[in-house]
Amino acid sequence: METGWRRYLILSWRLARAGYLSSTRDRVDLLLGILTNVVRQGVSLVLIGIVLAHFRVLAGWSLAAIALLIGLRSMSHGVFVAFLNPIRGVQEKIRRGDLDRMLLQPIGVLYQAAFGGTVELLGFGDFLVGAGFFVYAMIGLAVRWTVPLAAFTLVAIASGVAIEFAIYLASGVVAFWTLQDSPLYALTYMFHERLALYPISMYGSGLQFVMSWVVPVAFVNFFPAAVFFAHSDLPMPVGLTVGLGWFTPVMAVLSAGVAVGLWRVALRRYESTGS
């Protein structure tokens, strides 16, 4: 087992290095892409700021508090895009028959589908933008930093990566039976890329339940935010509990475990598309 893990680590390093060199060949395009991400996310916060300029709070959340949500989500999303973005194309790989080729390779199929040597440097841009929002939120909320809180920040980012990986993998597994793109992908994208930017307390109870326990994007940023509020003198917004905040890594492990389990079941029953 140790030898297998060592082999994957060496392979990952070599593939990541090759992917990095490939991504940096056109540096102008790379910089423009990063700048576009900065502007896009900056506009999102400006629009929220305009709303809050009239109403002061949004579902009980200040601008700094919403910046915390955006920051946590963007940092974990940046890491996901940098290293695991290919998993979002798993439906296309199944539909085109690329999975047949992967089955013949001497390394894990899921490893190839999720990583495969692709390094998206635009993901680092997302991470840096998210870090900027996060720092702004920490200052605005006057959070008192401790070693456990610093450790939790890293755990929250890693958990967000695992949850995003899980929801895209689970939505892609449907293609094993349909052999075509699933509408679940579009639904997953809406939850994670749009609705998760705002506090889920502003949505109806049914949607809150779905975003917490079915497509658990609330554990990417909403519930983890409670731990940061616990280190601030500001009152805890409605819907947050510190207990659920600390439950974040557990939810991440459960989500990833369920998604990988579904993948294994589907892969055992996979029949070639003939493409």
Q: What is the DSSP string of the chain?
A: -HHHHHHHHHHHHHHHHHHHHHHTSSHHHHHHHHHHHHHHHHHHHHHHHHHHHHHS-BTTB-HHHHHHHHHHHHHHHHHHHHHHGGGGGHHHHHHHTHHHHHHTSSS-HHHHHHTTT---THHHHHHHHHHHHHHHHHHHTTPPP-HHHHHHHHHHHHHHHHHHHHHHHHHHHTHHHH-S--HHHHHHHHHHHTGGGS-GGGS-HHHHHIIIIIS-GGGTTTTTHHHHHTTSSSPPPTT--HHHHHTHHHHHHHHHHHHHHHHHHHHHT------
- How high is the mean pLDDT of the chain? 84
* Residue in the block written with tokens 């992967």: 102
In single-letter form, the type of residue at position 72 comes to L
Q: How far apart are CA 211 and CA 112, in angstroms?
A: 29
Do residues 189 and 110 lie in contact, with contact meaning Cβ atoms separated by under 8 Å?
Answer: no
* Calpha distance 249→158 (Å, rounded): 8
- pLDDT tens, 113-141? 888 667 777 788 889 889 988 999 999 99
Task: Please indicate whether residue 27 or residue 98 has the higher confidence score (pLDDT).
Answer: 98
CA distance 164 to 263: 15
Residue 21 burial by Cβ neighbours in a 10 Å radius (0-12, 13-18, 19+):
exposed
Lowest mean pLDDT among 65-69, 183-187, 214-218, 271-275: 271-275
Give the type of residue at 106: P
pLDDT tens track for 53-71: 666 667 678 888 988 999 9
pLDDT attached to residue 270: 77
Predicted model pTM: 0.86
For the chain, the distance separating the N- and C-terminal CA atoms, rounded to the nearest angstrom, is 35
CB atoms closer than 10 angstroms to residue 49: 12
d(CA 31, CA 100): 36
Percent of the chain with pLDDT over 90: 39
Q: How far apart are CA 270 and CA 113, in angstroms?
A: 15
Residues whose CB falls within 8 Å of the CB of residue 66, separated by 6 or more in sequence, listed in order: 45, 48, 52, 58, 197, 198, 199
CA 73 to CA 208: how far, in whole Å?
17
